[in-house]
Amino acid sequence: MSQVTNLRLLFLSSFPLRSSVSFSLISKPRSLSLFPVLASSSSRKPRKVPHQPLSIGRRNHSTLGGKDKGVAMEKTESLDFNKRRLEGKDKNDLPKTLHLKSRKLNPANTISYVQILGTGMDTQDTSPSVLLFFDKQRFIFNAGEGLQRFCTEHKIKLSKIDHILLSRVCSETAGGLPGLLLTLAGMGEEGMCVKIWGPSDLDKLVLAMKSFIPNAAMIHTERFGPNHDSNVPAILDQSKYRDPFVVMDTEVVKISAIILQPRYSAAKPADMSVLYICELPEIKGRFYPEKAVALGLKRGPKYRELQLGNSVKSDYQNIMVHPSDVMDPSVPGPIVLLVDCPTESHLEELLSVQSLSSFYADSTGNTPEGARTVTCIIHLSPASVISSSNYQKWMKRFGSAQHIMAGHEMKNAEIPILKSSARISARLNYLCPQFFPALGFWSLPNHNSSVPGTLTSNEVPVSRLCESISAKNLLKFTLRPYANLGFDRSGIPSMTAPSEIIDELFSEIPEVVEAAAHISQLWQRSSIADDGISSVRDNKDMVEEPWFFADTIPTCLENIKRDDLEIVFLGTGSSQPSKYRNVSSIYINLFSKGSLLLDCGEGTLGQLKRRYGVEGADNAVRGLRCIWISHIHADHHTGLARVLALRRDLLKGVPHEPVLVVGPRQLKRYLDAYQRLEDLDMQFLDCKFTTEASWVDFECVESNNGHNSSGSPISFQDMNNDKTGITTSKIDTTLFSRGSTMQSYWKRPGSPVDKGVVYPIMKNLKKVLCEAGLAALISFPVIHCPHAFGVVLEAAERINSVGNVIPGWKVVYSGDTRPCPELIEASRGATVLIHEATFEDAMVEEAVARNHSTTKEAVEVGDSAGAYRIILTHFSQRYPKIPVFDETHMHKTCIAFDMMSINIADLHVLPRVLPYLKLLFKNEMIVDESDEVVDAVIVAS
C-alpha cells in the first residue's frame, strides 16, 4: 500500500493544487474563467495518444512523464497560465477585476420589450424570469434554476445582460444565479460580469456563494431595504420603503422599488419581496422649424427651450410661443410593474401602499388628470394569492393596463420548456420504453384550451376593462416603437405532441421500427416474471442469446423484485447545463422505503418533475431520506437548496425528521450561510464520517452502548478528546495521510469537529439506512479535488423462498475522479458501478489534467473491480447528444441519458440495448467544436 501512496503523492505533486484545481492542457488556452476553469472547445480535433491499460500500481500517462524536455516545459507553462487565470490574475500575476459593461444608450431610437423566460409551466419548480430588453442594455428580473439552460435552448445571449434584479432572495428566485455567474465569468478572454440588485439580504446569498465560488467578492451587488442585522427592529424601519425609491435611472429606463414585508415579528430575510416599477422616458414630439419661423422666432437658443418644454416670446411678434405650437405631442413613456406577492400577508402590505395611488384609474376606468398610466403588469404572484378577491380588486384599479399572469399555474403543461431535451426523450421512449418511460408532463391533462386574450374557467377573472392572459414562454410585450405597443406572440413555442416527434423519427431513421421490436423481444425472452427474475440460467429459450452468459448473473439478483430499486439519471452532463443534458444528479428510488439523491446539480427539481410529473415529484421529494453530495463543485450541488426548500414546504405541519445531507465539509459552510436566508430543515454530516473506518469506530461505540473502554458513558469532552478507547486514526485514508499533498486541505486550522454532535447524527443515519432497506452507505476519497468522494450503497441481505440468505445488491457511484485504487477497491463485486466518463479515449491528456476519466478508463475500472454492470455518466458538453466511445470494450456497459430509469430487475438486459441507442444517434455522433459549446470544469475554493 505504501507503493500506491507514493505514486499518488507523485501524481499530486506533478499538479500543484491551490483551490481544487484541474488544469487544462491545450496548446492555446482560451476562455478560461476567474471562477471556474472554463475552456471553449478547440477548433481542432484532439491529438490521438496511445492509451495504456489501467494499472493500480502505475499511472504513467504522457502528461506525467514526458520524454521530451521541451514538451514538458511547454506543458508546465500551460499549467502555470491556467493556474494564474483560475486565481484571478493576469499574465503579470496582478489581481484581475471583472468590469461592468459600459454602453452608449439612445432612448429615442431603440427597440424595447419585456419577455417571459422559463415560466416553469411544465415543472412549476422555479419562479419565471422576465427580460427587459433594449437595443444596447438588458435587464433580467429573477434568475431561478434552469434560466441558463432555457436561454441556451432559445439562443438568448446571456453575455448581453447588464443587470439582474431579484424580487426575493431565495432558492426559487435565485437558484440559477451561481451557475450563471460562473458561466459569464468564463466567457471570452476577459470574462464578464453583471450587477445584481435585490433586497438587503442579498449579502447573505453572496456570503453563501463565497464558500464555493472563488473570488465571489468580484460580484457587483447593490442591496436596498431594511437591514435585518441592524439593532433597529425591521418593523419600525420598513415603513419608509413602502414609497417607491429609485434603484437606477439610466437614459433608457428608471427602475424604482417598493419593499413588501409581512408585519409579523417572525419574518425571515427571504420573506422580503420587491415590487419593481420600470418607467421608460417620454419621447418628445417632432419639432417643426417652419412653424417656429411663421410665429416670428429666430433660429437659436429658443428652439432648444421649446424642445425642452418651455414657452418663449416671439422675436418679431408680440405673442408667446408654446411647445404645442411647433411640436407634435410627446409620446408618454410606457410603465411596467413587476409584482411578486408570495403570500396573503404580503398582500396586506401591498394594499396599504399609498404611493401606488398615482397609478390608479378612477371608478369608470379612466385615468385622472396628473395620474400616470401603467401599460403592463407582470404578476409573479402564485395563483392562490391572485385568486383572492382583494388581489382582484387591486388589479382592477389599474384601468386599461394589460395583465400577464406569470405565477405558478397549471397552464400549457404539455408544452415542454426544454423542447430539444424533450424531443430526445420522446425518441428514446419509443425505442426503449423500459429504460426511458414517458415524461411526466405529457401525461397531464390538456390545459391549453384558451384563445389568446380570453379567459378560461381556471384563470383569474379580472375587470372587463383590462386584458389578462397567462404567461407563455417567450411571450413579448412591445414597449418601443410606440406604434407596435402590445403583445407579440410570434415567438411562443408551439405545442409538440410525442406522435409528431415519432413521425419525424420514422422518416429520418426507418430502421428504428425494427430496432424497437428487437428491444421489446429482449424483455419477452428474458423471462421476467411479475415477482422478479426467474432463473435465467435454466431457461432453454436463452441459448441463442450468448450475451446473457458472458458473465454470471449475481446471486443478489435472484428473484429480485421490481419495487426494490430503480436508478433514475436526472442529469448526465458535466460543468454546466446544456440543451440535451442537465448537470449531475441521480435519484435512487427505493419505492415504499423512500429514496436518496446522489449529487444535486442545478435543475434537479425540474428534472424530477419532468420525469414524474408535478405531483409525482412532490411525493418523491417528501420521501427523500438522504442526499449525498460528492464534492463542492457547482455542477454537483447548486440544486440542493431548492429541493430542501420544497421538502420543507411540503412537510410543513406534518411530523417528520429533517433530511440528512452527507457531503464534504465545505458544503456545510455554504448551507450554514444559506440558512440565514431560509430554513432548509436538514441535518448535515461530513462525508469524512461515513468512510469505512469511521463506521468501524462508530460500531465500536455502538457495541459498547455509548460507553468508553472504562465503562463510563462517552461524554462531550470524551468525544472531542478521543478518550473513548477507540482508534480513530483510520478515518484519515492514505489519500489524506500525514505528509500528503492534500493534507493541508483536509486539516486546515479551524476544522476540529464536535464529535459529540457527529455521533448522534451517524446514529440517525444508520436508522434511516435501516428503514430504507440499506445495510451501508460508505464514502471513500477519490482523486479530483480536495474532499472529493465516491459512495457505496449496499442493500440488506434477504431470505429467498427456500430460506437461503441472499446478499444485497451493491451500487457504487464514482463522483468525479481519475481512476484510483480507492474506487477499484470500493467497487469490488459491485452490482452496478456508475462511473464518470467526461472525455473520449483520445483525450487522455485532458482527462489527466482535469482529474477526470475517459470512457475506456471508466470501463477498465469496472472490469478490474469485477463489477457486474457499468453505467457511464458525466459527459463533457462537447458531446451534445451521445459521447464518443469504442463499442468493442462495452460488453457490460451502457451510456446514461437524462431521464434514463434503470430497474434492477432489468440489469441483465442493459448492455444489449447500447447498440440500438447508438443507432438512434447515427447521424449525430459528431463532437460539437463550435464556440457555443463551453466545456467547463467548475472548481471551488
Choice among 13-17, 510-514, 867-871 with the minimum mean pLDDT: 13-17
Asked whether the beta carbons of 196 and 220 are under 8 A apart, the reply is yes
Q: Which residue has the higher pLDDT, 107 or 734?
A: 107
Contacts of 531 by beta carbon, 8 Å cutoff, 6+ apart: 559, 561
Mean pLDDT of 614-626: 94
- Decide: helix, strand or coil at residue 5: helix
The per-residue pLDDT for range 178-214, each reduced to its tens digit, is 999 888 887 776 777 889 999 988 989 998 998 888 6
Residue 494: predicted pLDDT: 81
Q: Which three cell numbers stand for residue 887?
A: 463499442
* Range with lowest mean pLDDT among 234-238, 438-442, 873-877: 234-238
12 by Cβ neighbours in 10 Å (0-12 / 13-18 / 19+) ranks as: middle
Does residue 465 carry a pLDDT above 60?
A: no
Q: Is 389 helix (H, G, I), strand (E, B) or coil?
A: helix
User: Given this model, what pLDDT does residue 865 score?
Assistant: 96
**Mean pLDDT across the stretch 920-941?**
47
Task: Specify the pairing of strand 37-40 against strand 934-937.
Answer: antiparallel
Q: How many CB atoms lie within 10 A of CB 750?
A: 4
pLDDT-derived band of residue 99, with 50, 70 and 90 as boundaries?
Answer: low
> Strand 220-224 vs strand 245-249: parallel, antiparallel, or unpaired?
unpaired
What is the mean pLDDT of the segment spanning 834-861?
94
Beta carbons of 172 and 644 less than 8 angstroms apart? no
| Cα within 13 Å of Cα(29), Cβ side | 26
Q: Does the pLDDT value for residue 21 go beyond 60? A: no
CA–CA separation, 891 vs 108, rounded Å? 66
Residues with Cβ < 8 Å from 639, sequence gap 6 or more?
145, 175, 585, 600, 601, 602, 603, 604, 605
Across residues 84-107, what is the average pLDDT? 54
- For the cut 90, the answer to whether the pLDDT of residue 794 exceeds it is yes
Average pLDDT value for residue range 122-147: 87
Q: Lowest mean pLDDT of 204-208, 362-366, 460-464, 694-698, name the range.
A: 460-464
- Locate the DSSP E strands across 159-289: 163-165, 195-199, 220-224, 245-249, 254-260, 273-279
> At how many degrees (to 10) do helices 498-508 and 512-525 cross?
110
Among 239-253, 555-569, 605-619, where is mean pLDDT lowest?
A: 239-253
Assigned C-alpha cell, 271: 420573506
CB burial of residue 306 (10 Å; 0-12, 13-18, 19+): buried
Bridge pairing between strands 798-799 and 805-806: antiparallel
Q: How confident is the model at residue 73 (pLDDT cuts 50, 70, 90)?
A: very low
Averaged pLDDT, 802-807: 88
- Give residue 96's pLDDT: 53
Residue 9 burial by CB count (10 A; 0-12/13-18/19+): exposed, middle or buried? Answer: middle
SS3 808: coil
Question: Is 95 exposed, middle or buried (CB count within 10 Å of its CB: 0-12, 13-18, 19+)?
Answer: exposed
Stretch 49-56: mean pLDDT, rounded? Answer: 43
Q: Of 910, 817, 916, whose CA–CA distance to 871 is shortest?
A: 910
What local confidence, expressed as pLDDT, does residue 432 receive? 95
Q: Per-residue pLDDT for 900 more than 70?
A: yes
> How many Cβ atoms are within 10 Å of 373's Cβ, its own excluded?
15
Specify whether the CB–CB gap between 776 and 596 falls below 8 A: no
**240: pLDDT confidence band, cut at 50, 70 and 90?**
low
According to the model, what pLDDT value does residue 468 have?
81
Q: What is the distance between the alpha carbons of residues 477 and 403, in angstroms, rounded to a whole number?
A: 10
d(CA 197, CA 172): 16
- What is the mean pLDDT of the segment spanning 337-366? 90
Query: What residue has cell string 454492470?
Result: 869
**What are the φ and ψ backbone dihedral angles of 519, each rounded to 5 degrees?**
-65, -40
As a three-state string, the secondary structure of 392-438 is HHHHHCCCCCEEEECCCCCCCCCCCCCHHHHHHHHHHHHHCCCCCCC
Give the residue among 860, 856, 852 at the shortest CA–CA distance from 836.
852
C-alpha cell read off for 221: 451587488
Average pLDDT rounded to a whole number, residues 77-105: 50
Q: How far apart are CA 317 and CA 294, in angstroms?
A: 10
pLDDT at residue number 377: 97
What cell was used for 277? 416599477
Strands 682-686 and 659-663: parallel
**CB atoms closer than 10 angstroms to residue 64:** 14
Give strand pairing partners of 55.
58
β-pairing, 273-279 vs 335-339, is antiparallel
Q: Give the residue, 711 or 253, on which the prediction is more confident.
A: 253
Q: What is the DSSP letter of 98?
A: P
- CA–CA distance, 434 with 912 (Å, rounded to integer): 13
- Read off the pLDDT of each residue in 422-451 and give the average, rounded to a whole number: 74
Angle of helix 389-396 versus helix 344-351 axis, rounded to 10:
30
Query: Can you give 792-807 as a three-state secondary structure string?
Result: EEEECCEECCCCCEEC
Q: Is the Cβ–Cβ distance between 535 and 529 less than 8 Å?
A: no
- Distance of CA 241 to CAs 141, 348, 887, 919, Å? 19, 15, 64, 61
Q: Is 865 helix (H, G, I), strand (E, B) or coil?
A: helix
What would the DSSP string read from start to end of 725-756? S---GGGS-GGG-TT-TTHHHHT-TT----HH
Q: What would the mean pLDDT of 281-289 be, rounded to a whole number?
A: 89
Q: What are phi and psi of 326, to 5 degrees?
A: -125, 5
Class of residue 72 by CB neighbours under 10 A (exposed 0-12, middle 13-18, buried 19+): middle
Spell out where 36-111 has E strands: 37-40
pLDDT digits (tens, 9 = 90+) for 306-327: 988 899 999 999 999 999 999 9
The lowest-confidence range among 196-200, 456-460, 645-649, 650-654 is 456-460
User: How high is the pLDDT of residue 540?
Assistant: 37
Please give the single-letter amino acid code of residue 134: F
Mean pLDDT of the chain: 77
Q: How far is CA 846 from the centre of its chain?
A: 25
Mind listing the pLDDT tens digit for each residue in 393-413?
999 999 989 999 988 655 545
Whether residue 419 has pLDDT greater than 80: yes
Backbone angles phi, psi at 692, to 5 degrees: -60, -40
For residue 150, count other CB atoms closer than 10 A to its CB: 26
| pTM value > 0.75 | yes
Q: Over 70: is that where the pLDDT of 698 sits?
A: yes
Question: How does pLDDT run across 710-763, given as a tens digit for each residue?
Answer: 555 543 334 434 444 433 333 343 333 333 333 333 333 334 455 678 889 999
Average the pLDDT over 236-258 and give the result: 82
Q: Kindly indicate the confidence band of residue 98, based on its pLDDT and cuts at 50, 70 and 90.
A: low
Q: What is the pLDDT of residue 634?
A: 92
Cβ atoms within 10 Å of 745's Cβ, excluding its own: 18
**Beta-carbon count within 10 A of 663 CB:** 28
pLDDT at position 135 over 80: yes
Q: How confident is the model over 340-357, as a mean pLDDT?
A: 93
Place of cell 400549457: 412
Q: What percent of the chain has pLDDT above 70?
A: 70
CB 335 within 8 A of CB 275: no
> What is the number of other CB atoms lying within 10 angstroms of the CB of residue 75?
18
Give yes or no for residue 577 having a pLDDT over 70: yes
